[in-house]
Amino acid sequence: MSVSDADIAFALELFEGLGPLTTRKMMGGLCLYRDGTIFAILNPDGSIWLKGAGRAAARMTEEGWTRWTYAREGKKTTAMPYWRLPDTALDDPALACDLARDALSQL
């Protein structure tokens, strides 16, 4: 399964307020970059995950955002530095861009 053209268009429109973006398809998903820095991943299911570090990661955790985790058989669960963008931000490009700017400021 790979990301759909419609989901790509949605993500690019959602974050267009950040200025010029570049993308790269990886492992069925799509990485979004601003000035060469990855700040979000679009998964094949259409979910958008912001990369978090420092103060931004603390905020995402405090606000209860879902963190991307995975587990390999026989291994402990691994947490990735990505949090699922809240539904409220999916309907509000200004909010989505503010959250992305905050995340980018800590990367």
CA distance 102 to 16: 15
Residue 75 — pLDDT band, cuts 50, 70, 90? confident
Tens digit of pLDDT for each residue in 51-67?
999 999 999 999 999 99
Q: What is the CATH number of the domain that holds 27?
A: 3.30.1460.30
Cβ(51)–Cβ(81) below 8 Å: yes
Q: How many domains does the structure of the chain reveal?
A: 1
CA 97 to chain centre: 11
Predicted confidence at residue 14, as pLDDT, reads 98
Containing structural domain, residue 93: 5-105
CA distance 69 to 99: 21
How far are the Cα atoms of 2, 5, 22, 78, 97 from residue 19, in angstroms, in the given order? 25, 20, 10, 33, 10
pTM, whole model, 2 decimals? 0.91
Predicted confidence at residue 91, as pLDDT, reads 95
Calculate what percentage of the chain has a pLDDT beyond 90: 88
